[in-house]
Amino acid sequence: MSEWAPKRFWKDAAVVPEDGLWLVELDGRRVKTPAKATLTLPTEPLAQAVAEEWQAQGERIDPGSMPFTRTANSALDKVRHQRAAVVEMLAEYGDADLLCYRADRPEDLAERQRQEWDPFLDWAAEAYGARLEPRAGIMHAPQDGAALARLRAQVDALGPFRLAAFHDLVALSGSLVLALAAAERQAEAEEIWQVSRLDERFQEEQWGHDEEAAEVAEIKRLSFLQAERFYRLAEGETGPA
């Protein structure tokens, strides 16, 4: 038996301006979030992207094909109301950032980590005055508190829509620094994603391709790229309202 999915009930999805913000309407009916709030977007390009997801639906609605709608729902129903907790959770990644936990052997992996990861740590130190120090091994060692506070301030400056996307950039990459680099366009999102997967890429080179692991990695890659695009489309927002 196939899983139940709601049927499409509209013909056209349209973007409508209201009080400096943007709504998505389905044949004139406003789209609501799961918590029944009006789906109100901070920029017209983001609203257009959400409307395109609704317009692209077939006879039955597939929520899995609507990542921008899902992230917008999260921004309004969750992040907006739990903002301080979300900021704190993401800022904590700085104290255990992926880029800081290095292999001491094999040497070729350690050298590749230095080549690919050190430039991003150097960038964070220059851009934010936040120098995070690499450690050999997996045991946690606290980073400098002042550096962490400077990185936290960058997260705290984000409004709910960018913060919702930023959450995915951090969680998927395992790195606060790489998420900030994606947000600040220090490199293309695809390049940053590949940098975050350096260890996995090295293992694939040593042990060969694992089809199941590759499928999972591809899902995460697409999610990272979608989060970066959502963040970009939401950049026009003016604050945490």
pLDDT for position 197:
97
Mean pLDDT of 199-216: 89
Tell me the domain boundaries of the chain: 13-79, 83-233
Between 214 and 15, the more confident residue is 15
Does pLDDT of 13 surpass 90?
A: yes
Does pLDDT of 239 surpass 60?
A: no
Going by pLDDT thresholds of 50, 70 and 90, the confidence category of residue 144 is very high
Of 14-18, 53-57, 102-106, 230-234, least confident by mean pLDDT is 102-106
Summary mean pLDDT of the chain? 94
pLDDT for position 240:
44
* DSSP secondary structure string for all residues of 20-88: TEEEEEETTEEPB-TTS-B-EESSHHHHHHHHHHHHT--SB--GGG-HHHHHHHHIIIIITTSHHHHHH
Sign of the alpha-carbon dihedral angle for 74, 77, 79, 82? negative
pLDDT for position 241:
39
Does pLDDT of 207 surpass 90?
A: no
Q: Fold match between 13-79 and 83-233?
A: no
Going by pLDDT thresholds of 50, 70 and 90, the confidence category of residue 4 is low
Domain 83-233: CATH superfamily is ATP12 ATPase (1.10.3580.10)
Does pLDDT of 49 surpass 50?
A: yes
- % residues pLDDT > 90 (the chain): 86
Going by pLDDT thresholds of 50, 70 and 90, the confidence category of residue 208 is confident
Of 63-67, 178-182, 210-214, 235-239, least confident by mean pLDDT is 235-239
Distance CA 208, CA 110 (A): 20
* Amino acid at site 147: A
pLDDT for position 104:
87
Count of CB atoms situated within 10 Å of the CB of 28: 9
Q: What are 73-109's pLDDT values in tens digits?
A: 999 999 999 999 999 999 999 999 999 999 988 999 9
Class of domain 13-79: alpha beta
E-strand stretches of the chain:
13-18, 21-26, 29-30, 40-41, 101-102, 135-136
Sign of the alpha-carbon dihedral angle for 123, 128, 130, 135? negative
